[in-house]
Amino acid sequence: MSMSFKALIVEDNREMACSLNMLLRTEDFEADIVTSGLEAQKALSSNPPDIILLDLGLPDMDGMKLLTNLRMWSSIPVVVVSGRLNVEQKVAALDAGADDYITKPFSPDELSARIRVAIRHKAPDMLVSHKYSVGDLEINYELFRVSVGGSDVGLTQSEFKIVALLGKNAGHVLTYDYLINQLWGPSAMGDNQILRVNMANIRRKIEKKPSSPRYIFTEVGVGYRMATEDTLAVENPK
């Protein structure tokens, strides 16, 4: 990445803000730091960044409100960096439009990988790609085919739709309700069993060790996330 990328850090803890700033500089980002929701709104309206690192616990407003307002007019990638561990809050942030959510304390390598994924996810060439590959896994959207090591794994239609949707949003957590709504409609939302059965079948077909997945990770109580080359190295160190 080049210095043409700019980040906005929305964090009222000075020590944490400085740590995030140092991390971003190692990724060749220029970063501005603001400590309140009001300052963030001013910065976003005057000089929109390429990515936002957002803390939810701001002194003047909840970060969720800032996120919701932002999504009314902008698709700037947002990675929530928060100390809130509650699963419902994580789901709410992702459903409100956050591209990713990582809790404190975090691994700097993992956050760096998720930032790179969030930036690339908005790149135009990602939208026209007919294939997605990570490790030995390849998704061919034109042929409706998923292969591992060059061999077709034989997914059913529903299984392919799940993998295809995760692949198109690789690196991002898709909530259970979002996946179910996209695949089976709103009437099926809230019933995760059909999704879990399909995921168990998918993992038996694409993973060497289904109990220790390499390609599709479970965010417990939230949803699923497809690996990218960046996150694959972090999640599966040699």
Beta bridge partners of 7: 31, 51
**Residue 207: what pLDDT?**
95
Return the structure tokens found at 225.
């996330």
| CA dist., res. 205 & res. 136, Å (int) | 13
| CA dist., res. 169 & res. 92, Å (int) | 18
Burial class (CB in 10 A: 0-12, 13-18, 19+), 63: buried
Burial class (CB in 10 A: 0-12, 13-18, 19+), 93: buried
**Residue 175: what pLDDT?**
92
Helix (H) or strand (E) holding 151: strand 151-152
Q: What is the mean pLDDT of residues 20-44?
A: 91
Q: What is the mean pLDDT of residues 158-176?
A: 90
Locus of tokens 């999640």: 235
C-alpha closest to that of 98 among 126, 71, 60, 61: 71
Q: 133 in helix, strand or coil? A: strand
pTM, two decimal places:
0.64
The pLDDT confidence band at residue 163, using thresholds 50, 70 and 90, is very high
Q: 42 in helix, strand or coil? A: helix
Q: 58 in helix, strand or coil? A: coil
Lowest mean pLDDT across 17-21, 33-37, 234-238: 234-238
* Chain length of the chain: 238
The pLDDT confidence band at residue 234, using thresholds 50, 70 and 90, is low
What's the Cα-to-Cα distance from 55 to each of 17, 34, 67, 96, 230, rounded to whole Å? 10, 11, 10, 14, 23
pLDDT for residue 233 is more than 80: no
Q: What is the pLDDT of residues 137-162, one digit of tens each?
A: 999 987 889 999 999 999 998 899 89
Is pLDDT larger for residue 4 or for residue 124? 4
| CA dist., res. 118 & res. 41, Å (int) | 21
**Residue 187: what pLDDT?**
77
Strand bridging mode 145-148 / 137-140: antiparallel
